[in-house]
Amino acid sequence: MTTLVSNIGLLVAADGERRNAALVIDDDRIAWIGESASAPAADTRVDAEGGCVIPGFVDTHSHLMFAGDRASEFEARMAGRKYEAGGIRSTVAATRAATDEELLANATRLVAEMRAQGTTTVEIKSGYGLTVEDESRALRLATQFTPETTYLGAHVVPTEFADDVAAYVELVTGAMLDACAPHARWIDVFCEVGAFDVDQARAILTAGMARGLGARMHAGQLGESAGVQLAVELDAASVDHCTFLSDVDVDALAGGKTVATLLPGVEFSTRQPYPDARRLLDSGVTVALATDCNPGSSFTSSMPFCIAVAVREMGMSPAEALHAATAGGAAALRRDDIGELAVGTRADLVILDAPSYIHLAYRPGVPLISRVFAS
Ligand code: NIG
Ligand code: FE
């Protein structure tokens, strides 16, 4: 089954921007890219009506397996209260009490929101269960939505282990890892004051890597953290947040393969300063943008929102922000089949109801996603 997408005003292809373009989708792959005027025939035809076509967004950081609502916490922050990692525990209580059906229904709604806003690949973390059963349940359910599942038993120390953090780390690296590894591609740690320190993070990530999981890391959200350099040292695919970075952290990132994933929804929702994307890009670091969709620190499912904030507040050009939200995300998942449009890549693409991707930032909050193709 082939589909011709013709009359593309501006196509953001892997080898550059093309005007008056067309492309052919064959099953789940892109089979042809060229001038609209010389497009081949196909089984069906879609008219892009002069709109811009971009790769589907790759949202590499979300916590969708949860129950409950923390709107009042957000309201209090907007009135001046500080964000603290401990708020996670209130979602843990609600998530443990939820049925599988409730968790699935909530995640289904959020994944649909993401898709409607142009996201074609999503990563989903556990991290609101924090028992062997609740973490493995979250990951087993998450595999219904994506192969990019991440074991985050090390999100915070649950209340019942408050007096014995070492015992919780032992659980996370032992029985909980055994139960979760079959349902996960990645392992992640929240390395921050109020969560896990750098020695614990090292123990947890190396245990996961020994089980064949790829490493990811939350670090630098609330202050500078040795977690950033640990992520690079362990060749983690990504270190996420990176709001607070020392010069040594930036040099380490520039010298390694670890992607810096920036999550502007968090700074928006916690009233923190935005991360400095310009500093990272100018140092040669690969940058990704993601939503961090979760009920506490960033309850947005919108990659266009993240792009708009990144352009307005973080020193990125519209082209850099789009690249970070697509190819940057692919790099953060170590994938070469998504995040850009070329012959042979997956047919994950978005037709915008706009002549250019610049409009994603120029028209913030406006629904510009006209059609989404997801392989
Ligand atoms: O990425 N930083 C840790 N985890 C989430 C926050 C989750 C929450 O507050 O519930 C984050 O921001
Ligand atoms: Fe997170």
Q: Is the CB of 297 under 6 A from ligand 1?
A: yes
Same domain, 42 and 83: no
- Least Cα distance to 322 among 102, 73, 12 occurs for 12
Same domain, 307 and 361: no
Cα-to-centroid distance, 84 and ligand 2 (Å) = 13
Same domain, 154 and 303: yes
Q: Is the CB of 218 under 6 A from ligand 1?
A: yes
The closest residue, in CA terms, to atom 1 on ligand 1 is 292
Same domain, 279 and 134: yes
**Domain CATH code at residue 10:** 2.30.40.10
Same domain, 352 and 323: no
Taking only the tens place, the pLDDT of each residue in 193-206 is 989 999 999 999 99
Same domain, 93 and 18: no
Same domain, 201 and 173: yes
Domain coverage including residue 15: 2-55+340-373
- Least Cα distance to 121 among 235, 351, 291, 275 occurs for 291
Same domain, 100 and 243: yes
Cα-to-centroid distance, 291 and ligand 1 (Å) = 11
The closest residue, in CA terms, to atom 9 on ligand 1 is 296
Q: Measuring CA to CA, how many Å separate 53 from each of 16, 275, 276, 355?
A: 12, 28, 28, 9
Cα-to-centroid distance, 178 and ligand 1 (Å) = 24
Same domain, 241 and 146: yes
**Domain CATH code at residue 71:** 3.20.20.140
The closest residue, in CA terms, to atom 6 on ligand 1 is 297
pLDDT of residue 85: 76
Cα-to-centroid distance, 320 and ligand 2 (Å) = 22
Cα-to-centroid distance, 85 and ligand 1 (Å) = 7
Q: What is the total count of domains within the chain?
A: 2
> What's the rounded Cα separation, in Å, for the pair 219 and 254?
16
Q: Is the CB of 196 under 6 A from ligand 1?
A: no
> What's the rounded Cα separation, in Å, for the pair 339 and 56?
7
Which uninterrupted H or E stretch holds 219? strand 214-219
Structure confidence at residue 186 as a pLDDT band (50, 70, 90):
very high
Closest listed ligand to the CA of 192: 1
Structure confidence at residue 364 as a pLDDT band (50, 70, 90):
very high
The closest residue, in CA terms, to atom 5 on ligand 1 is 297
Same domain, 15 and 75: no
Q: Measuring CA to CA, how many Å separate 228 from each of 122, 131, 161, 232, 346?
A: 23, 27, 26, 7, 31
Tokens of 245: 């970075």
Taking only the tens place, the pLDDT of each residue in 308-351 is 999 999 999 999 999 999 999 999 999 999 999 999 999 999 99
Taking only the tens place, the pLDDT of each residue in 23-71 is 999 999 999 999 999 999 999 999 999 999 999 999 999 999 999 999 9
Tokens of 231: 């992520």
Left if phi > 0, otherwise alpha if psi is -120 to 50, otherwise beta: which for 148? beta
pLDDT of residue 86: 76
Q: Which ligand 1 atom sits nearest the alpha carbon of residue 292? A: 1
Cα-to-centroid distance, 265 and ligand 1 (Å) = 11
Instruction: Report which DSSP code applies to 43.
Output: S
Structure confidence at residue 84 as a pLDDT band (50, 70, 90):
confident
Same domain, 72 and 108: yes
Checking 20-25 for CB contacts under 8 A at 24+ apart, the result is: 21/53, 23/53, 23/341, 23/349, 25/347, 25/373
What sign has the CA pseudo-torsion 39, 40, 41, 46?
A: negative
